[in-house]
Amino acid sequence: MALLMEPGSEPLTEGEKADLEGIAAIKESAAREFKEEGNRFVKMGRKHYAEAVECYTKAIAQMGALSAPNPDGSVLFANRAHVNLLLGNHRRALDDAEQAVRLSPSNVKAHYRAAKAALALDLLPLAASFSRRGLEQEPANEELKKFLAQVEAQQLEQDLQRAKVAQAVSTAKDLAAAIEKRRLRLGKAAFQELTGVKKPKLDEQGVLHWPVLLLYPEVMSSDFIEDFPETDLFSQHLDVMFAASSPPLPWDENHAYTREAIELYCQADEGTPLSKSEILKYLLEGTVDSKSLPDSLDEEDGEHDTGKGSTVTPSREGSTKWIRVKEGKTLQEALQHKDYIVPAIPVFFVVSRKSSFYSEFKAGNWSLP
């Protein structure tokens, strides 16, 4: 009897051949019935999709090991892929659709379902490949044409986004390298309510251009210099801002803040220096979607040199320590002071020797509110 035959052996008698043909017919009939029942469940709606998947699975099992070409088997896998798509089981749908294509490359529905599953899994090149292969089988298929156009548009958008991210990361790394080369220490951003998310820029000559915030602590007013090249002297900017022809500051009723009376300071040892990866993240903030950034960024902290042209005002324990910034020095020299941690962008405090506030500030008795 055929049922007692060893697996893989050939039938030797007419009886065995008849038995095998009968068994095959029974399985084919059962597969057809399971398939039709699965189709009925699909038409009955979402509540019956799981039953439809079960029916198609039983039908496939009845067919045994399948080798190409097998159009009937291809239809079963394509049908199960369709239901898995409806259920949102995109990985299973893709596996089934790929099997359907393998069994029958001319099955256009299988190509389309594979493409849809690949798109749902964000596998855009694979989705485009299945779409094109389906159109090779049926060039006039308008649904596949529209779908391919959709995939190609998303692929282009994704490529442009990746290029934008790559450019942003490259620019940020160049900036971070320039900051590290100058042995500057950057800390967390401060006063962003006054400055927004302004960042330094590196020009073609390799010069850093900083946005600089000037604070008047006596009244907590401010000025903002959007482009302060690191090679500029402080005096160049102060000469313009406090020129004799310029009107006095609106809150300076006693005209204490004159060119010859003002002094510049920055706060010493305020905050904690950021790591290299934290600096990169700060420089990238607001340029691209954070979800599209690389998973890891290099983390490497550098040493920092003592600054030039600055003096530190001694202060008693517990008081604020201020670094005097000499106007005849460059911005870069001020930022390189060993005790200065740049709060993302440079912040300098402007006080006047003519003001009664001056002695309080110099003594370290004033601190930020």
Q: Are residues 207 and 344 in the same domain?
A: yes
pLDDT in tens, 72-112: 999 999 999 999 999 999 999 999 999 999 999 999 999 99
User: Are 111 and 130 a contacting pair, CB within 8 Å?
Assistant: yes
CATH assignment at residue 88:
1.25.40.10
User: Are 49 and 85 a contacting pair, CB within 8 Å?
Assistant: no
What is the predicted pLDDT for the residue at 2? 43
pLDDT in tens, 221-247: 999 999 999 999 999 999 999 998 888
What is the predicted pLDDT for the residue at 330? 97
Q: Are residues 22 and 95 in the same domain?
A: yes
Confidence check: pLDDT of 198 > 50: yes
- Which residue carries 């009244």 as its tokens? 219
Q: Are residues 150 and 191 in the same domain?
A: no
Round to whole Å and give the CA distance between 176 and 279. Answer: 7
Domain boundary among 115, 133, 155: 155
What is the predicted pLDDT for the residue at 264? 97
- Smallest CA-to-CA distance from 134 within 98, 96, 90 is with 98
What is the predicted pLDDT for the residue at 301? 43
pLDDT in tens, 245-290: 888 899 999 999 999 999 999 999 888 999 999 999 999 988 877 6
Confidence check: pLDDT of 298 > 90: no
Average pLDDT over residues 310-329: 71
Q: Are residues 311 and 194 in the same domain?
A: yes
Domain count across the chain: 2
Domain of 223, in residue numbers: 187-362
172 occurs within a structural domain = no
Q: Are residues 88 and 135 in the same domain?
A: yes
Q: Are residues 89 and 224 in the same domain?
A: no
What is the predicted pLDDT for the residue at 336? 96
Tokens for 349? 């405090």
Tokens for 285? 């903030």
Q: Are residues 323 and 275 in the same domain?
A: yes
Question: Which of 114-128, 268-282, 288-302, 330-344 shows the lowest per-residue confidence on average (mean pLDDT)?
Answer: 288-302
> How wide is the angle at C-alpha 285 spanned by C-alphas 282 and 290, nearest 5°?
115
pLDDT in tens, 161-188: 999 999 999 999 999 999 999 999 999 9
Confidence check: pLDDT of 4 > 60: no
Cis check for the bond before 69: say yes or no (omega within 30 of 0): yes
Confidence check: pLDDT of 59 > 50: yes
Q: Are residues 195 and 302 in the same domain?
A: yes
User: b vs e for 171-194, b when ≥16 Cβ sit within 10 Å of the residue's Cβ?
Assistant: bbbebbebbbeeebbbbebbbeee
pLDDT band at residue 299, thresholds of 50, 70 and 90?
Answer: very low
pLDDT band at residue 316, thresholds of 50, 70 and 90?
Answer: very low
What is the predicted pLDDT for the residue at 30? 87
Tokens for 39? 């189709």
What is the predicted pLDDT for the residue at 92? 98
Average pLDDT over residues 144-170: 95
What is the predicted pLDDT for the residue at 315? 45
Q: Are residues 136 and 225 in the same domain?
A: no
146 vs 318, which has greater pLDDT?
Answer: 146
Q: Are residues 251 and 349 in the same domain?
A: yes
Q: Are residues 284 and 141 in the same domain?
A: no
What is the predicted pLDDT for the residue at 317? 47
Q: Are residues 67 and 139 in the same domain?
A: yes
Round to whole Å and give the CA distance between 268 and 307. Answer: 12
Contacts of 195 (CB under 8 A, 6+ apart): 211, 213, 224, 345
pLDDT in tens, 16-52: 566 556 666 777 888 899 999 999 999 999 999 999 9
What is the predicted pLDDT for the residue at 305? 41
